[in-house]
Chains A and B, each alone.
Chain A
Amino acid sequence: EAQVTQNPRYLITVTGKKLTVTCSQNMNHEYMSWYRQDPGLGLRQIYYSMNVEVTDKGDVPEGYKVSRKEKRNFPLILESPSPNQTSLYFCASSLNRAGASSNEQFFGPGTRLTVL
């Protein structure tokens, strides 16, 4: 089954304790992206990757890191989480080809993170 998976689905942690949220897709998509969803703000892009070893900042990258060593995986790293990073996080992937702005982005099920 074609899908985007994220782990963990739920995480409660404390300020300053490094954590990683994994994202994996099995559709051979080049493009991957991370969003955070907050009440009243909708979804905002954190980082994106057009292909392996190519990553760039989205709208709200502060406090986050990513890596893209393999095509299928795009982990989100919080080196020193803070309470304002409490949010619902979604990973998404899409094909990357000419005219691809119309491509469907496939979303993972979300990771609900609470930073105390």
Chain B
Amino acid sequence: GNSVTQMEGPVTLSEEAFLTINCTYTATGYPSLFWYVQYPGEGLQLLLKATKADDKGSNKGFEATYRKETTSFHLEKGSVQVSDSAVYFCALSSGGSNYKLTFGKGTLLTVNP
């Protein structure tokens, strides 16, 4: 079955530091890959996505590249801000009869001023 593994948190960084959150996946077929963000007390919001190999998703300074050869979709940002503090979830959807998202366990990011 499908699965997503992302780096365990929590991750604590200083403002303007470089961020990487690793994500690898196992899936049948050609899944679509997503990063969702959950701010405190809120639901999940789509941060970025990629639908095929070598696609790069980007939004709000965050980027992730769909690497089929390494089955990875690592999230990066060059300079984090305090407002980026949140829980980040890597997820995949392989379609078929259910567009279920298979999530990683989430990574809590805290950015200090």
Where the two chains meet, the residues of A that have a C-beta atom closer than 8 Å to any C-beta of B are: 4, 31, 33, 35, 40-45, 48, 50, 56, 58-59, 90, 92, 94, 96, 99-110
Contacts and interface: CB of A to CB of B under 8 A. Distances in A.
A43 B103 contact: yes
Contacts of A59: 100
Nearest to A31: B99
A48 B98 CA distance: 8
Nearest to A3: B43
Interface of B: 4, 31-32, 36, 42-46, 49, 51, 89, 93-101, 103-106
B43 A109 contact: yes
A56 B49 contact: no
Nearest to A103: B99
Contacts of B105: 40-42
Contact of A96 (B42, B45, B99): B99
A102 B44 contact: no
Query: Looking at A31, A40, A42, A94, which has the most chain B CB atoms within 10 Å of its CB?
Result: A42
Contact of A42 (B49, B95, B103): B103
10 contacts: A31-B99, A41-B105, A44-B103, A48-B98, A48-B100, A90-B43, A96-B99, A100-B95, A101-B94, A110-B43
